[in-house]
Structure 1
């Protein structure tokens, strides 16, 4: 069940990287180069990891590498919390952007249960 939950979440989030690319680019610090490429690559990783989990293929690889991926994208989550973020022209409430930060650690710990 946990494997499928992670699979759906990752696959869906990965697709959103392409559907809402500008929104994802907006949470990466503007001073960083290759922001669009980072969004696209992280989207591909999420789609592939999600598909692997849903198909129950390469699960041990995903379990070993997913925590590092979550840590790699954490700076964008911090930037999203520190700077006002908008999705669809609406400001995301601070309680959501700050509340998302500890969720990342919950996701990392939960990988063990996949």
Structure 2
């Protein structure tokens, strides 16, 4: 249950961030992705929905089954952010943090499959 709550809070926080810092999220998307603002908003809504489902305990099975695919879908933006770092909210994140974050994505996928 603790994993579900922590994961839910993290997703809710990240999803809200998509709207509070839309420009920052748009800037990290790879150039080959069209309609960047649309996809930032859609992924923000999905993260908020996942977060609410996990925090309320409703729809956890759906999140457990679909969250790994969602995490794989957003991976290109994370890779692009590491390869082409840009300031977020006027701050440049350390390169080591951007690169370390990539293997952590696999851990998030693994944990997503364990949500109950």
- Taking structure 2 as the reference length, the TM-score comes to 0.95
The answer (yes or no) to whether the contact 2:18–2:41 under 8 Å persists in 1 is yes
Per-residue CA distance 1:17-63 (angstroms, 9 max, x = gap): 00000010111023421000010000000000000000000100100
Gaps of 5+ in 2: none
Q: Which residue of 1 aligns with 2:38?
A: 37
- What is the rounded CA distance, in whole Å, between the counterparts of 1:47 and 1:90 in structure 2? 25
TM-aligned CA deviation for residue 88 of structure 1 = 1.7
Q: Which residue of 2 aligns with 1:101?
A: 102
- Taking structure 1 as the reference length, the TM-score comes to 0.96
RMSD, aligned CA: 0.8
Structure 1 residue ranges (4+ consecutive) displaced by more than 6 angstroms after TM superposition: none
Q: Which residue of 2 aligns with 1:58?
A: 59
Gaps of 5+ in 1: none
